[in-house]
């Protein structure tokens, strides 16, 4: 992806290397996050996957992060280029959504991206690296341990900078849903019909994939895409489909347990946003079949 370095985004909250103080379990909206811990972990293993995923955790949801250092000085940060890329992405993605909201007569409120190491306090409880990236509606922040991208590359077989961009775009998609009231609507529908919980979760996640595609559409229009970028994002979406993760865990594929959608569904809805660039193309709640 073609991108330019600039000043660090005002929407980046750098907690890299900082210890946290508040134990508990994070309960955000799971994009890629829920994929690993909720689908593979909660559904199959019922445990923290820190060790399995190589994310450095050791213990349960209430354990504290091992890092006791101070915030990393950007000038001496070996992850500086990665942080700069995330800084570019968070600003670019939110500018695109601000323009879309403005065209719809709505006001976009920016989310913040919290970069942390191993564990951190969140408005949804205590967040751990093993959870993966996630969006927390109460504080309107996306939480990301940059080591997750190493997991994507080495364990999930989803390398590339545009695969990383897709991950963040998906989480910002959840922020868009929060601003539009979609999350509240899903919560209300789930309360009325608990048996639809998984189905509604899948529709919510696929819509976030489609919203990620809308941002990707804008990058194509602005000629920011390089050869192979779209393939990187599609591969990432495929690798984190419920069925692919279940197979990777050595389990039988169980569609009734899906919470994020199959690999085919995830790539199809991302591509739908990519091809159309329109909000109305992402109505997963009216689509039948998905």
DSSP string, 64-77: PPS---PPPPGGG-
pTM over 0.75: yes
- pLDDT at 56 (0 to 100): 33
Rg (CA), the chain: 18
- pLDDT at 18 (0 to 100): 82
Give the C-alpha distances (Å, rounded to integers) separating 140 from 26, 137, 282, 290: 13, 5, 22, 28
- pLDDT at 125 (0 to 100): 93
Distance between CA 232 and CA 164 in Å, rounded?
9
- pLDDT at 79 (0 to 100): 80
- pLDDT at 129 (0 to 100): 87
- pLDDT at 230 (0 to 100): 97
213 touches 270 (CB < 8 A): yes
- pLDDT at 39 (0 to 100): 32
- pLDDT at 61 (0 to 100): 30
Give the pLDDT of the chain (290 residues) as one tens digit per residue: 999 988 899 999 999 988 766 554 555 665 444 444 333 333 322 233 333 333 333 222 333 333 333 444 555 566 889 999 999 999 999 999 999 999 999 999 999 999 999 999 999 999 988 888 999 999 999 999 999 999 999 988 999 999 999 999 999 999 999 999 999 999 999 999 999 999 999 999 999 999 999 999 999 999 999 999 999 999 999 999 999 999 988 999 999 999 999 999 999 999 999 999 999 999 999 999 89
35 touches 260 (CB < 8 A): yes
Distance between CA 177 and CA 33 in Å, rounded?
17
Could you tell me the two tokens for 170? 């998906």
199 touches 228 (CB < 8 A): no
- pLDDT at 19 (0 to 100): 72
What is the SS3 assignment for 121? Answer: strand
């Amino acid at each position: 992806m073609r991108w330019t370095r600039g000043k660090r985004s005002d929407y980046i909250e750098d907690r890299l290397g900082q210890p946290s103080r508040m134990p508990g379990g994070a309960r955000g909206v799971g994009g890629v996050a829920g994929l690993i811990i909720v689908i593979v972990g909660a559904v199959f293993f019922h445990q923290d996957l820190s060790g399995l995923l190589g994310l450095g955790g050791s213990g349960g949801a209430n354990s504290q992060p091992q890092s006791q250092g101070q915030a990393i000085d950007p000038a001496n940060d070996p992850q500086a280029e990665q942080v700069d890329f995330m800084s570019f992405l968070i600003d670019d993605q939110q500018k695109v959504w601000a323009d879309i909201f403005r065209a719809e007569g709505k006001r976009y409120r920016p989310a913040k991206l919290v970069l942390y190491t191993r564990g951190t306090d969140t408005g949804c409880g205590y967040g751990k690296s093993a959870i993966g990236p996630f969006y927390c509606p109460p504080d309107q922040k996306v939480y990301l341990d940059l080591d997750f991208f190493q997991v994507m590359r080495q364990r999930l077989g989803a390398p590339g900078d545009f695969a990383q961009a897709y991950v963040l775009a998906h989480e910002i998609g959840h922020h868009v849903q929060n601003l539009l009231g979609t999350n509240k609507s899903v919560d209300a529908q789930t309360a009325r019909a608990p048996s639809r919980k998984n189905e509604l979760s899948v529709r919510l996640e696929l819509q976030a994939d489609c919203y990620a595609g809308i941002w990707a559409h804008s990058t194509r229009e602005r000629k920011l895409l390089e050869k192979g970028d779209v393939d990187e994002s599609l591969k990432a979406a495929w690798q984190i489909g419920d069925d692919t993760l279940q197979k990777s865990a050595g389990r039988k594929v169980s569609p009734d347990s899906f919470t994020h959608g199959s690999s085919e569904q995830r790539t199809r809805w991302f591509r739908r946003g990519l091809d159309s660039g329109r909000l109305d193309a992402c109505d997963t709640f009216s689509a039948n079949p998905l």
